[in-house]
Structure 1
């Protein structure tokens, strides 16, 4: 376990190797789960503020479900989440011509329409952040790829020798800041040297 500030990080975050292989998984994490994408409180405002800009990137089914359910919903297990279409694909997602599920929010961001890339829970996947029930200021960062869905990503990560935290550098830096990432990187290098 690695401790940086108020975050306890599983060793697997730095030891396991992972690189998303969208040609294999087809973005399945956007439709395979117990609920939609978990949302931070601040992200609820982003969805309200940028919804009309993201709308053209959504499917008719996604728009219809949001009209019925709302732009976000509350799940008793996961808190605020994005709605889904029939309990499967996120309402903000669409399939490209190759059948890969893409994020409409992220596409709007990539097109320069909005300043918010996508929910941080999606950006950090397969790292999941949870909070201590005893001390809500304490966070846990765990490496939790989906067993079947992420097989190709784990295989590609091993082939390319890319640790999960390195693959997720942009997301970790976005959420915790550059200094946090540099500390994590230095700790990972030290751990690697100790095992050599």
Structure 2
């Protein structure tokens, strides 16, 4: 484990390799799970603020689900989460022409309609953040079958998990935090 600021980071985040291969996994992480995406409590207000802007990007099933069950839900195990449709896909997800699940928030962001990309838990995947009393624990948790193409592509391209997730790590923790991970990688991992 690596201690940085108020976090404990799994060594795998700097040692293992990972690059999403959407052509192979089809964005399956947006439909494979017990609930929708975990949400930070600050993100609840953001979702309320951007919902009407994002709504045109949603599927009919997603809109029905959200309007029936709410823009987010509370789960006893995971806390606040996005709603999931009956087929398991996140209510904020949709399939593109290639069958890849895309995020309505991210598409609205890419189109310049909103300035919030998507829930940080989605952006950081396959890193899972568990909040403890004194530390946040960052673990590398790819899905064994679903993420095997991403693990293979990461190995082929020689891209460590933390480098692939540079943008969301900086978004959540800042540039200095990312630089500390990078320094650890170059000091302890690259020299091995």
Using the size of structure 1 for normalisation, the TM-score is 0.96
CA contact (8 A) 1:126 1:145 kept: yes
1:22/1:100 contact within 8 Å kept: yes
Aligned equivalents of 1:27 and 1:38: distance in 2? 16
Structure 1 outlier segments of 4+, above 3 Å: none
SS where residue 94 of structure 1 aligns?
strand
**Residue 164 of structure 2 is aligned to residue 167 of structure 1:** yes
- What pairs up with 1:14-29 in 2 under 5 angstroms? 14-29=14-29
The count of residues paired between Structure 1 and Structure 2 equals 192
Residue 187 in 1 paired to residue 188 in 2?
no
State the 1:34 CA deviation: 1.0
Name the CA distance, whole Å, in 2 between partners of 1:69 and 1:97: 28
Aligned pairs for 1:51-130 (under 5 A) are: 51-86=51-86, 88-130=88-130
User: Is the 2:14–2:189 Cα contact (8 Å) retained in structure 1?
Assistant: no
Q: Secondary structure at the match of 1:85?
A: coil
Q: Render the CA deviation track for 1:5-31: whole Å, top value 9, x for unaligned.
A: 110000000000000000000000000
- How far did residue 193 of structure 1 move? 4.2
1:176 corresponds to 2:173: yes
Tell me, which stretches of 5 or more residues in structure 2 are unaligned?
Answer: none
- Secondary structure of the 1:45 match is helix
Output one character per residue of 1:66-117: Cα deviation in whole Å (capped at 9) or x when no partner. 0111000000000000001016000000000000000000000000000100
The TM-score normalised by the length of structure 2 is 0.98
Matched, 1:143 2:129: no
Instruction: State the Cα RMSD in Å.
Output: 0.8
Q: Output the CA distance in 2 between the equivalents of 1:87 and 1:121.
A: 21
CA contact (8 A) 1:35 1:87 kept: no
Kindly provide the CA deviation profile for residues 21-63 of structure 1, in whole angstroms up to 9, marking residues without a partner as x.
0000000000000110000000000100000000000000000
Deviation at 1:131, TM superposition (A): 1.4
1:62 partner SS: helix
Structure 1 stretches of 5 or more lacking a match?
Answer: none
